[in-house]
Amino acid sequence: MIQVKTLPCGARLVTEKLPEFRSASIGIWVGAGAVKEASDRKGISHFIEHMCFKGTEKRNFLQLAKEADDLGAALNAFTDKEATCYHIKALTDVFPQAVDILLDMVCFSKNDAAEIRKEKRVVTEEIAMVEDTPDDIIVDILMEKVFRGTPLQYPVLGSRRTVRVITREDVLAYRKKWYTAGNIVVAAVGNFDDSALEEQLEAQLSMLPSKSPEIADYKPSEGCRYGYRTQDINQTHIAIGLPTVSMGSGEYYAQAIACDILGGSMSSRLFQNIREQKGLAYSVFSSTLSYAQDGMFMIYAGITPGKEVDAVTGIAGELAGLKRDGISKEETEIVKQRLKSGYIFSLESMNSRMYRLGRNLLLLDKVYSQEDTMAEIDAVTADQVNAFLDRICDIGKYSGVAISSKRIDMKRLMNG
């Protein structure tokens, strides 16, 4: 059973007890991501995530890592556009010790000035690594085009310039503003003592400031934009995208079905046409990114240089065909079964359950039971999917970017 409560300190706690398991997973979700950052300090949310591993008043960075390893625990963290999540998974009998490590990191990071200087070099190397990976960096480039004028346009890592100027004072001020009990959701899944966990969380999280400021809503970006980047690589990487629905939208699962049909599986239109029939790409797919206020539908292909026109023409043709012909009730039901299967498979992972509960409660202020999710998928009709496809199946509505060894004019390529 999923339970949600607000602790006296103001932090929200969502738990799902699974007594048949012998371990537990917990995530501390902080509402601090790229959308909360000042324009001249982009990347500070992710940088603070790094600093939480660099030592506290009780443990230095080696002790943090070694204590987690000695427990046999899996400790990690990630930052995205809207949140930072610190998480640990451990056996039930050592779970309280694992939680103590996690709370120490999040609440009492030392943020030593020397470690900050060192970690800025580490993060700039991480930025360089992403820039050397075209199928990673192309998503950041596309999002800058699709979400121009909104906080979602900025990359989570920031840039070399913005990371290099981060100071200890910046870190402390950002933590004071956003690392507050009222801006934290804790999600725990598995076999654990819930009463003991509540006491442990309250004792530590109550030492944080109580509230964070609200952020203003933003409007979805409008218009198509194009870009390219030249890089010494063997393939041409193309990505096109447009703004779509948010993660709490009533069209969320209609979009998921549309995405699966277009390019989300081996039997999808794009995979069969662009790869299997024409041999233009090894990797071609569609995907969605959903946030609290907005979302993006995107299509990606990695193709042989010189085949860009053929690939984009093929993608445009599949979009036009879906818009013209739509999908049948039978195909809708088949894809709904795939979605339900994927959802059930994800429930076999405690980390996946923790992620779903924590993110939904933090960003949507609600959680979905298994029955809720299955019912929402079952409720989608072919007419709803076709209405969604009708809106997105026109390549003229998409922004587009490319990474290649030569200049690619995406505007001309996409508009004939």
Q: Please choose, from the candidates 53, 40, 50, 43, the residue with its C-alpha nearest in 3D space to the C-alpha of residue 157.
A: 43
Closest CA to 286 of 265, 267, 303: 265
49, 82, 308, 318: the active-site residue = 49
- The answer to whether 26 touches 201, Cβ cutoff 8 Å, is no
- In the chain, the largest separation of any two C-alpha atoms, in whole Å, equals 64
DSSP-based helix, strand, coil % in the chain, nearest 5:
50, 20, 30
The answer to whether 100 touches 198, Cβ cutoff 8 Å, is: no
Q: Find out whether 224 and 396 touch, Cβ atoms under 8 Å.
A: yes
Clarify whether 169 is annotated catalytic: no
d(CA 405, CA 380): 43
Closest CA to 156 of 35, 29, 75: 35
Any idea what DSSP says for residue 272? I
Decide if 11 contacts 186 (C-beta within 8 A).
yes
Assess contact for 186 and 29: CB atoms under 8 A: yes
Strands 399-404 and 236-243: antiparallel
What pairs with residue 290 in β-bridges? 295
Residues labelled catalytic: 49
